[in-house]
A and B are shown apart, each in its own frame.
Chain A
Amino acid sequence: MAQHVVRVRELVRQFGTRKVLDNLDLDVRRGEFVALLGRSGSGKSTLLRVLAGLDREVSGDVRVDGTVSVAFQQPRLLPWRRVWRNVSLGLHGVDGRAVADRALAEVRLSEHAEAWPITLSGGEAQRVSLARALVREPDLLLLDEPFGALDALTRLAMHRLVEDLWQAHRPGVLLVTHDIDEALQLADRVLVLDEGRIRAEHLPPPRPRRHADLAELRDRVLADLGVENHEAA
């Protein structure tokens, strides 16, 4: 039964009378990279919070098998702790400095280990946040639009980094995003969330992927999201 790291059945989350998540089913296999696309208000962040254990006011069956870590949209680093401490705090029974140094090398920030978070750029801070999440060797890595606040070039570099890290560590990943290209580029499976349910599922072609391979799939996903495609029309 260790095949799935996430198994959700008939999940309902209500705010007042509004069902943000409405009888939602979701599976994530071990080591699988799943992207969850949706417009704002589609419930994708709520779902992620439920899986992270931050929201327990739910009904239905939610099973997360293994350890979980999260990289949030904002890096949420402790400004009063140096970068390496931010990475290693909360780990127990290990040499925090050594573990942090290794993780920071992976996100190519070794030279910033002693820096204060306030001195980092947005992309660097987000990489620290990724290192902090990965150092916990999670079975499930939740990414809550972690590239949303970054500029386009930094974002592309981050995509490559995330893909490399995922290949190296193989956690199950649930990436919540509203960036279609990001989802198609990175994920094994792209889910479209709408009105609290998984509305569609798409399987991008095998890796490595070129941009051109994804064009047609991109149109179909856009249609699922309710965005008119001018060129096709």
Chain B
Amino acid sequence: MSIPTLAVADPPHTAAPPTAPARTPRRRRLPNLLRWISPVGLLLLWQLASSSGVLTEDKLASPTKVLSAAVDLAATGELGDAFAVSLRRVLLGVALGAVIALVLGITAGLSRWGAVLVDPPVQMLRTLPFLGLVPLFIIWFGIGEEPKVALVALGFSFPLYLNVYAGIRDTDPQLLEAAGVLGYTRWERLVHVVLPAALPQTLVGLRQGLGVAWLSLIVGEQVNAQAGLGYLINNARDFLRTDQVVVGLVVYAALGLATDAVVRAVERRALRWRNTL
């Protein structure tokens, strides 16, 4: 599946940050280009296998076929519509999940009673294979948008909750003590000490959660969808259009990468206080 490859995309990019001195541009660019040799080679191999008839189109369409299918789907507007529907599901689910995770995580992190009451049930629910809840969700929410959004929200909220909770609990007690002596109000302690202290961990949770969110969407859309990328893929499957199936998968992957890039940009901005050395 496309989502787990997200993390693999990181190292070559982070190894050469844009702020790095450009003393040896040749040496820096060469390895990056070298890294493209084998992916492009595999792509060529795939094309060769298709053209020579080793790989038949009912198993897997050739890269050029996939490309032209993408162009066609985009031209008819099908791809754009499916894209918009799926993106909307993820955004709604993530927003809903974020509210739940933040409220629960902050409650559990800040108060002893919050931790006692909130954490045990969340930890228990976490052990459920939540993708297995699809049948229940269909019974509860029907087959419209709700079960898909709910599944995304559920998948997204667990990693975020865990990291928010851990982040708040890890707040340096020395800073809290100083804040107390310096006359911070409770609100100031929350806004200027506890929440910023928990932010790095929270952003880790956000990235993990988004990975799970896309996965949840794909599973949710496979089961029963009247629109969206999953619907497009299922339709294509019924007509053995492997080219269109691959187009759908590539778009999933691109969306996953795009949201990850957004979070990384947010991270750079929000954590700039520790990136200035």
Contact = CB atoms under 8 A, between A and B. Distances in A.
Interface in B162-195: 174-175, 177-185, 188, 192-193
A118 B277 contact: yes
Contacts of A119: 276-277
Contacts of B199: 80
Contacts of B188: 89-90
Contacts of A54: 177, 180-181
Interface in B245-277: 272-274, 276-277
Question: Which of B175, B180, B181: most chain A Cβ within 10 A?
Answer: B181
A70 B181 contact: yes
Interface in A121-139: 132, 136
A208 to B, nearest CB: 32
Interface string A211-232: 0000000000000000000000
B277 A89 contact: no
A80 B197 CA distance: 8
Most A Cβ at <10 Å: residue of B177, B182, B185, B197 = B182
Contacts of B179: 90
Contacts, number: 58
A166 interface: no
A117 B272 CA distance: 12
Contacts of A68: 181
Contact of B182 (A80, A81, A90, A118): A90
B63 interface: no
Contacts of B181: 52-54, 68-70
Interface residues of A, number: 23
Interface stretch (A11-19, A71-79, A156-164): A71-79
Given A78-B196, A79-B273, A89 B182 contact: yes
A89 B187 CA distance: 12
Contacts of A116: 272-274, 276
B183 to A, nearest CB: 5
Contacts of A74: 174
Contact of A78 (B180, B185, B192, B277): B192
A76 B274 contact: no
A4 B185 CA distance: 28
B175 A78 contact: yes
Interface in A86-108: 89-92
B180 to A, nearest CB: 7
Contact of A118 (B184, B196, B274): B274
A118 B273 CA distance: 7
Given A72-B174, A89-B192, A132 B182 contact: yes
Interface string A16-56: 00000000000000000000000000000000000011100
Nearest to A133: B182
Contacts of B274: 79-80, 116, 118
B174 A81 contact: no
Contacts of A136: 182-183
A166 to B, nearest CB: 19
A91 B184 CA distance: 8
A74 B174 CA distance: 9
Contacts of B276: 116, 118-119
20 contacts: A54-B177, A54-B180, A69-B181, A69-B182, A70-B178, A70-B181, A72-B178, A76-B174, A78-B193, A79-B274, A80-B273, A81-B273, A89-B182, A90-B179, A90-B184, A92-B185, A116-B274, A118-B273, A136-B182, A136-B183
Interface of A: 52-54, 68-70, 72, 74, 76, 78-81, 89-92, 116-119, 132, 136
Interface of B: 174-175, 177-185, 188, 192-193, 196-197, 199, 272-274, 276-277
* Interchain residue pairs A-B with the least CB separation, the first 8: A76-B178, A80-B196, A90-B182, A90-B184, A90-B183, A80-B273, A116-B273, A70-B181
